[in-house]
Structures are given as C-alpha cells and as structure tokens.
Chains A and B, each alone.
Chain A
Amino acid sequence: MASHLPPRPTAQHSQADAGGMAADEHHHGPRGLKRWLLTTNHKEIGSLYLIFSLSMFFIGGIFAMVVRAELFQPGLQLVQPEFFNQMTTMHGLIMVFGAVMPAFVGLANWMVPLQIGAPDMALPRLNNFSFWLLPVAFALLLSTLVMPGGAPDFGWTFYAPLSTTYAPPSTTFFIFSLHLAGISSILGAINIIATILNLRTPGMRMMDMSLFVWTWLITAFLLIAVMPVLAGVITMMLLDINFGTSFFNAAGGGDPVLFQHLFWFFGHPEVYIMILPAFGIVSVIIPTFARKRLFGYASMVYATASIAILSFLVWAHHMFVVGLPLVAELFFMYSTMLIAVPTGVKVFNWITTLFRGSLTFEPPMLFALAFVVLFTIGGFSGLMLAISPADFQYHDTYFVVAHFHYVLVPGAVFAIMAGVYYWLPKWTGHYPHTRLSQWHFWLSVIGVNLTFFPMHFAGLAGMPRRIPDYALQFADFNMITSIGAFMFGISQLLFVAVVVLCVRGGEKAPAKAWDGAEDLEWTVPSPAPLHTFETPPRFEPDRH
C-alpha cells in the first residue's frame, strides 16, 4: 500500500504548524450544545462516544445490580420474574451494544488518526451522524421499560419464537433500536477502514501500524461482514411479528433453529468484535511499561487475522444441544479449539514482551496485566465449553455466564479502562490520580473475581442461567457473587472520580507522557490540540 500513497498534501490552512500545533482559536464552529451536536472533529466525537459508553455502562450496571440483588438469596425477594427477565435482557443488550462497542469506537476515533498521523477521520460528517444515532437508539431501547407489556424479556440472544410469537409488544421498538445501533456500527466501521487505508502518514506501511490500529482495522472488517446479517435477522423477526411471514415459525413451515444459526453467524464474530480492539490496546500498553518492543509484532497481526477468519467457522458451538448431527458437533468442536492457537500466540507474545523488561506498574499497566491473566482464565473456560460432550452439561448454566463475563469484564472492559488510563494524559494534559487509580484497580480486580469466579462452581453444580430463583445449595455461591458485584459496581464510581479529577487538573503531563511510549500520538502536545497532524508527520519506519 505504501507505494500508492498520495504525495504529501499541502496544508490549506496556512496557520497550521507542523506536528499538530494548531491551537483551539482556529475553531470557529458553533458554541455550547450546538458545538457538540454538529462537531465533525474526531477528538470531540471520540469523547462523545466515550462519555455515552460510560453512561450506558452505569445504566447496564444498575440492571446487573437489580439482578444480583434478587439473586442475593434464594426465593423471590425484590422483583417479579417478568421484570427479572427484562433486567437480564436489557443488561446484556446495553452492555454489548451500548457500552463495550461504543467505547471501542470512541477510542478508535480519538486514537486511530493520532496513531497513523492523519488530521481527522476520513469521513468526519458521517462520523458525527454515526455517533448521534446511538443516543436515539438507546433512548428508544430504554423507553421499552415503561411500555405496556414491559421491555424485551427474552435474553440478549433474543431466540425466536420467544422473541417473535411470545414476545412483548415492545419488541418492534427493540428491533428498530437495534437497527439504528447496527447502522451506527456499520458507518463507524466504514469510516475507520477508509481512514486507516487512505490517511496513513507518508512512509507508514501497513506493517508499521500500531497494533491498536491493526486490530481495529480487522474488527471493522468483521463489523462490515456481520452487522448486515444481524440486520437481516431482526428484519426477519420484524416480518414474522408484524407481517405474518414464517421465517422462524414452525406453524408456517419455518424453523426456529434457523434463527439460532443466523444469530450466531453474526454473534460469534460479534464476540471477537468486542475483544480484538482490547487485544490491540493491551499490545500497545505492555511494550510501553515493559520498555521493550512488542515481541512478535507480525505474528500478532497474523494471529488477529486468523482469529477473525476462524470466527466465521465456529458459530454452532453455541448450539451443541439443538440436535446437530455428530459430524457437525465434531467440526464445530475442533474448529473452536483451533482458535485457542492464535489466541495462545497472543498471550505468549504478551508474556514474552514482559519477560526481562523494565516493568513499572502505572495504572494502565495494572489493568493490562490483569487483562492478560483474567482474560486467559476466560479463554480456558471457553475451551472447556468447546468440548461438545462436556457442553451438554455446561450449556445454559452459570458456567457459561462465568465464561463470557471473564472475557468481557476483566477482558474487554478492563482493556478499555487500561486504554482510558493510558491515553488520559494525552486527552486532558494531566496524569490520572495515582492513589485513586490504584484503589479503583484493586477494588475492581477483587470485585470482578469475587463476582464471577464462584459462578464457575455454581454452574458446574448445575445452576441454570436466567432464572430468578435457585436451589438452596447454590445460596453461598450466589451471596458471594452478589457481594462481589456490589463491590465492583460501587468501585466504578472511583473511575468516574478519577476521570473527572483528571479533566479538571492534576499533575501536568508532557507530550510523551509515558517513558516507553513510542507511537505517533506521543509526538503531539498534551493535551492534544483540537487539530493535529494537519501536515503529515515524519515517520521513521524501524520501530517494530
């Protein structure tokens, strides 16, 4: 690609200094609320995404607290089963589509142009549109809670016919909101691909890009490939519910199992959409604080690509118990296990990067290290679930809940937090408060493990998921889990405190805020001015 790069563009705004010194006074746009509504600046849109994602994280978190409060003791205490089902469903939907995905898009908006030396995203106005779809989508989704019949209550996987024939009337609103969120993701992905492929600074080849950029490029391709399938599935649901078709309705010759195939054809790549950018963030942070180059850069890129390709061949491991023929059980079992190979390459590379490095343990590094350990635990329970005969026992138990929360909370969410701590000095010009960040980290780590580790045991002992009550022998595990969940939930307020304090003041950060940080974003001042790299920076390509 490098040889096809355009000649260096001449800066049309002559005031813009090299190295992105252009200052705020060049911003002549509207002020106040309209500034945010109409902004096309990648940094402002990135911040909007991150703030939106944080608020969704708390809303989804409150739903999780309701679930854990109900499960604190056996029996029904606080909520009716119908409402409990709405809470589990909304928690999953909000966290997946409202918290984790927009957080990664926000980080990409902020950091991809800075890491490739581009002045902005390739399509800034589209960028604005794809952000503002999200508040609309989630306001619509949350409004279903007050509709007659209640919010969606069929689980975040919305299996038909539970989500069609037997669904509450608000399901049509849920479908529309998911359509909007999906369009937002697709537009974001188009923008990221167009930016990465076309706006790299002269001299930066594909294999010179930071791993965060690489993993996001691959994630964006996954989004392009599977979000239309999700859109197709929910469109079929819409037709089944409102227009009398029978895609998933056995009465009319349809097949509910088809829904599961289509959903998981989207759903499995979707789970990698939520973890690949996390791999990228961690692959950027660990070399910085180990003060070594990333071990096996090329193998990291190929491993990410292999995981992405394999993700299309494993979907039926979510459906081992629907009555697949033996040969399909075996195929999906082995192809799933194959994913452990590139994932193992990644974990190996992280550990080898740490090996004999000059480690320091600043807050981003703490979260990155916790990610490596705890994500790997989630990976191992995933391997256990991949074993088809064993899965017949684990299916739909708390073991599954433990597994995907380990890869999503101390996996994706910790990586997002690591990224936020890592880039806060660049965004705000201040270091995050060290003591407070450490408290946040340790309370989160203890809280997360207290919450999700006992779920493994409850699940192996047979506790089914998505049920508001449970047998007495699970009482102790559930009480520990609930205490851990409250602890984790409350300690996230510390995170908000750290971010707010960091925006308002704190120790001043230099342009290169972290000792071992090497990517291009550390060549612009901290805080990064509104406009950066209006003249493409010089890039010396021998870092990797």
Chain B
Amino acid sequence: MTGQHSGDTRKGIRRTVARTLVALAGMFVFAFALVPLYDVFCQVTGLNGKTSNQAQALVHEAADQDRVVTMQIITRGSSGLPWSLEAHTRQVRVHPGQSAEVDFTFENLGDEVSVARAVPSVSPSEASLHLRKLACFCFQNQRLAPGERFEAPLVFQLTRDLPDDIKTVTLVYTLYRQDAGPSRENGTQALGGDA
C-alpha cells in the first residue's frame, strides 16, 4: 500500500518512524539507567534503608542525654539456608551520639559448609543516614562448617542529627546464601510441589 503514498507522505512516515524508534531506544536505555539512578538517589537520601558497606569512623560528639532512642534488632533466616542468627540483645536504648555494642551468634545447623551474608535494612529509612557502623559482620561473607558457631559484634552509633521525630529505629538482618546454594530450586519445589 505504501506504493500509493506520494513522496512527501512517504518521507513524513519515515521521519515519524525514525523519531519513534529513537524515543523507544531512549526509553529502553532509560529503564536501565533508572537502576544506578535509584541507587544514587537512595544513597543520598537513605530512602531504601540501606547502610554503608564499610566500617565508618566514630563521630566524636557528646551523647544527647535528653533523648533516648530505642534500637530494635531483628534477625531473619532465609529458605534453603540452614543457619540461625541470634542477637544477644533484642532491644537497646541509646542516647544519640553514644556508641553501643550488640553481639550476634551465627550457627550452621546444616551438614555442609556454606557461605552466607547478613544483609541489613533500617526502618524508618530516614534513620539509615544517621546510623554509623564502626564494626559489623555484615561487611563480609561468613563461611561456616557444619555445626560451627561464630560470635560477632556490631558496634554502632546513632548520630545526634537523627531527626527528632524518630523514637525507634529497627535494624533487620536477613541471612542470604552467597555460594551457589539450592535456594531457588528449593523455592520452586515448594511452589510447584504438585507437579
């Protein structure tokens, strides 16, 4: 049918198609560009509740004796990883500016060597910018032999510029397998158990 169109129309169609294709390619690239943009945006604003991946230095400031913030600590395992992670203290009350220590125990309850990492998440997410970790097991993978136990400390500080409306900060550690474990296969078997 294009044979019917006059030269001008054909040129117009070609131009329109070229422009839409450029827009398409642009949007496809934009979708992937959103991933690093999101990461940078979250790093600046703390919006996804992630904390720094490296040990940070203590900010030397006098503890704010007038404020008390409750720090709750939650640990979670994940499917396909027979480990337990326990915090020795579930809740600490700290003054902003003061540093505190909580100990954790990792234990491999399975019968093979496995590698995992505890990935932190902070809620409310605004607090993540004000939570400084001076020492944490979450900076590296842990490798545990069957039945092996391992104790590790978390040393942290909530800085004094923590927004006033935050009274409770929840820090969650979720264990994720880091070696090529059977976690996905387990998941699908669980879901497709009827097959």
Contacts and interface: CB of A to CB of B under 8 A. Distances in A.
B117 A251 contact: yes
A262 B4 contact: no
Interface in A258-314: 258, 261-262, 265
A228 B24 contact: yes
Contacts of B195: 148-150
B191 A165 contact: no
B49 interface: yes
A251 B176 contact: yes
Contacts of A194: 13, 16-17, 20
Given A198-B16, A231-B28, A258-B38, A166 B188 contact: yes
A323 to B, nearest CB: 6
A485 interface: no
Nearest to A248: B35
A229 B124 contact: no
Contacts, number: 152
Contact of B38 (A12, A122, A233, A261): A261
Interface in A132-156: 148-150, 153
Interface in B66-106: 78
A255 B48 contact: yes
B16 to A, nearest CB: 4
Interface in A306-348: 323-325, 328
Interface string A177-195: 0000000001001100110
B65 interface: no
B6 A257 contact: no
Most buried by A among B3, B20, B123: B20
A258 B21 CA distance: 26
A262 B31 contact: yes
A452 B121 CA distance: 39
Most buried by A among B3, B25, B191: B191
B44 interface: no
Most buried by A among B16, B21, B49, B194: B16
A7 B31 CA distance: 41
A236 B33 CA distance: 12
A76 interface: no
Contacts of B124: 323, 325
B20 A193 contact: yes
Contacts of A199: 5, 9, 13
A257 B48 contact: yes
A119 B16 contact: no
Most buried by B among A82, A83, A227: A82
Contacts of A149: 188, 191-192, 195
Interface of B: 1-9, 12-13, 16-17, 20-21, 23-25, 27-28, 30-32, 34-35, 38-39, 42, 45, 47-50, 78, 117, 119, 121, 123-126, 174, 176-178, 183-184, 187-188, 190-195
25 contacts: A10-B6, A12-B3, A40-B1, A120-B1, A122-B5, A124-B1, A148-B192, A149-B191, A167-B191, A168-B191, A190-B16, A190-B17, A193-B20, A198-B12, A228-B28, A236-B32, A236-B35, A251-B78, A251-B117, A251-B176, A255-B38, A258-B48, A262-B31, A323-B49, A323-B123
